Amino acid sequence: MRWRPGANLVRGVGLLAVLSPLVFLHWLVLLPLIGALAGLAVAALRERTQLRQAFDHVTVRRTLPTVIGRDAEFEAGLDVSNANAFAIHVQLRDEHPDAAAPRLVVYAGGVAAGGSTRFASACRIPSRGRHQFGPAWLRIEGPLRLVEMQCSVARIATVKVLPETFASREELQKDLGAELRLLDQQRRARQFGSGTEFESLYPFRMGDDPRRIDWRATARQQTLVVRRFQVERHRDVMIVLDSGRLMGTDCGRGTKLDCAVDAALNLARVALASGDRCGIAAYDDSVRGFLPPVAGVSALRSIVECVFGLETQWQESDFTPMLAELRARQGKRTFVIVISDLSDAETSTRLCASLQQLQRQHLVLFAALKTPLLTRVVREPIESSREIARKAVAFRLLRDRGRALHALRHGGVHILDVEPQQLTLPLVNQFVELRQRNLL
């Protein structure tokens, strides 16, 4: 606990200092000056003792949401309760995370005797991850404003910042639900089709496949009975995120990696709700994390913990270590969704070769995120020789990217080529379509 002179004590001492030259006119002036100075000192000491006791009856509690959406506005507050028999005037300084806006907030106000006051401000955090608030500092002025005391209060608290659409299911449905074909599909308890998982027995009808007649059930019931099958559930789905250099590209609403994590978590929620097992992994030039497929809607929490704070380390991406990890840990045929991007011809060739090898064992969907800057450069008018060079580079990168995607399609890899901000809906819809085709 620290203390310092208050505003009135500084003014009083300053006034006495101004009057002190009067001692040279008459020595008797010294007596009232000394008396006044002693009175200020005694009053300041009494007020200091009073403030020490007052601090024991003042509590500060931090109020924060535990989970928020990225760059979504929320309220960060401090509740001050005063159990003293007198009102107090307080100043609060609250330290927010480095990524937050605002970074530092200062409050001032009075708290009635036996009452409480809430101090709050609107805050935003534009980056995913776990962010720390605190400490907060409380300063109390004495009744006479002769002394001020301050100490650290309100323990450090953390808040989890998730992708904006994943943090609020209602917001996802409001903003994007009109285009999401899966919403009606999710309400169905079973999906009948050409799957191989037995569901029930059903009376034979014209048009049913005679090969599905259950002869034992037919003999028991004395009427033709067929087996009905449903699309397989409990299949393995693996979402692989690239966190390399290219995924740090800004695309308006965060980086490509922000969009990829947002889409991946929404896709994981859909896969788990559909009865599949879902896992997630991340890589750049090495494997950054690997969670094998797990079942149940409750497993979504583990998936969120793995990737909600994932950030790029600006390393060049290399899919080879991830390919080896998938081969070693996923012996069963799996639906692998890779979210990444393609750059120069050499890197694209290595990635295409790895994905084509992966396709031989697993069903692979490659979500290629476009670079908005390249599209803008191509559309810009030419105003100088520098613009000509920029366009030439952009056209070459787009040409190499197109050739790489064509090679992947030719090799049997399913391709989704979209803008980063528009990834979630096409990715979920493509997942549903491939799942219903029973390609596993």
Average pLDDT, integer, range 226-251: 84
How confident is residue 60, by pLDDT bands cut at 50, 70 and 90?
A: very high
Question: What is the domain-level CATH number for residue 304?
Answer: 3.40.50.410
pLDDT at residue 174, as a whole number: 42
Asked whether residue 338 carries a pLDDT value surpassing 90, the answer given is: yes
Asked whether residue 48 carries a pLDDT value surpassing 60, the answer given is: yes
Asked whether residue 107 carries a pLDDT value surpassing 90, the answer given is: yes
Asked whether residue 278 carries a pLDDT value surpassing 80, the answer given is: yes
Average pLDDT, integer, range 35-62: 89
pLDDT at residue 257, as a whole number: 93
Asked whether residue 205 carries a pLDDT value surpassing 70, the answer given is: yes
How confident is residue 256, by pLDDT bands cut at 50, 70 and 90?
A: very high
Spatial strand order of the sheet with 157-162 comes to: 67-69, 157-162, 129-133
Question: How many whole angstroms from its chain centre is CA 429?
Answer: 23
Residues 146 and 20 in one domain: yes
354 inside domain: yes
Asked whether residue 122 carries a pLDDT value surpassing 50, the answer given is: yes
Average pLDDT, integer, range 162-168: 75
Buried (b) or exposed (e) across 216-240, using 16+ Cβ within 10 A? eeeeeeeeebbbebbbbeebbbbbb
Residues near 277 by beta carbon (within 8 Å), at least 6 away in sequence: 234, 235, 236, 237, 293, 294, 295
Asked whether residue 277 carries a pLDDT value surpassing 90, the answer given is: yes
Q: How far is CA 368 from CA 90, 254, 308, 337, 402, in A?
A: 55, 17, 21, 11, 11
pLDDT at residue 102, as a whole number: 92
Cα within 13 Å of Cα(236), Cβ side: 19
Q: Which residue has the tokens 């899966």?
A: 182
How confident is residue 51, by pLDDT bands cut at 50, 70 and 90?
A: confident
Q: Which residue has the higher pLDDT, 70 or 207?
A: 70
pLDDT at residue 21, as a whole number: 87
pLDDT at residue 321, as a whole number: 93
Asked whether residue 152 carries a pLDDT value surpassing 70, the answer given is: yes
Asked whether residue 190 carries a pLDDT value surpassing 50, the answer given is: no
pLDDT at residue 369, as a whole number: 93
Average pLDDT, integer, range 82-106: 90
Q: Give the C-alpha separation, 138 to 90, whole Å.
A: 7
Q: pTM (2 decimals)?
A: 0.74
Q: Which residue has the tokens 């998938």?
A: 326
Query: What is the tally of structural domains in the chain?
Result: 3
Q: Shortest CA distance to 235 belongs to which of 351, 153, 121, 334?
A: 334
192 inside domain: no
281 inside domain: yes
Residues 152 and 270 in one domain: no
352 inside domain: yes
Residues 365 and 284 in one domain: yes
How confident is residue 185, by pLDDT bands cut at 50, 70 and 90?
A: very low
**In 3-state terms, what secondary structure has residue 403?**
helix
Are 319 and 354 spatial neighbours (Cβ–Cβ below 8 Å)?
A: yes
pLDDT at residue 177, as a whole number: 40
Residues 309 and 432 in one domain: yes
Residues near 343 by beta carbon (within 8 Å), at least 6 away in sequence: 246, 397, 401
Residues 377 and 292 in one domain: yes
Average pLDDT in the chain: 85
Provide the residue type at 377 as one letter. Answer: V
pLDDT at residue 108, as a whole number: 92
Residues 244 and 368 in one domain: yes
Q: What is the pLDDT of residues 364-414, one digit of tens each?
A: 999 999 988 888 888 888 888 888 888 888 888 888 888 889 889 988 999
Residues 158 and 169 in one domain: no
Residues 246 and 279 in one domain: yes
How confident is residue 231, by pLDDT bands cut at 50, 70 and 90?
A: low
Q: Give the C-alpha separation, 16 to 98, whole Å.
A: 45
Residues 283 and 152 in one domain: no
State the residue range of the domain holding 203: 198-230
pLDDT at residue 235, as a whole number: 86
Stretch among 97-101, 187-191, 232-236 having the lowest mean pLDDT: 187-191
Residues 156 and 257 in one domain: no
Helices (H), 360-436: 372-379, 385-410, 424-436
Report the first-to-last Cα separation within the chain, whole angstroms.
66
312 inside domain: yes
pLDDT at residue 280, as a whole number: 96
Residues 138 and 221 in one domain: no
Asked whether residue 191 carries a pLDDT value surpassing 50, the answer given is: no
Asked whether residue 4 carries a pLDDT value surpassing 90, the answer given is: no
209: number of Cβ within 10 Å: 10
Q: Which residue has the higher pLDDT, 37 or 1?
A: 37
35 inside domain: yes
How confident is residue 238, by pLDDT bands cut at 50, 70 and 90?
A: very high
Angle at the Cα of 265 from the Cα atoms of 261 and 269, rounded to 5 degrees: 170
pLDDT at residue 242, as a whole number: 95
Question: What is the domain-level CATH number for residue 104?
Answer: 2.60.40.10
Residues 175 and 132 in one domain: no
pLDDT at residue 195, as a whole number: 52
pLDDT at residue 179, as a whole number: 40
191 inside domain: no
Stretch among 105-109, 119-123, 173-177 having the lowest mean pLDDT: 173-177
Average pLDDT, integer, range 227-235: 70
Percentage of the chain beyond pLDDT 70 is 91
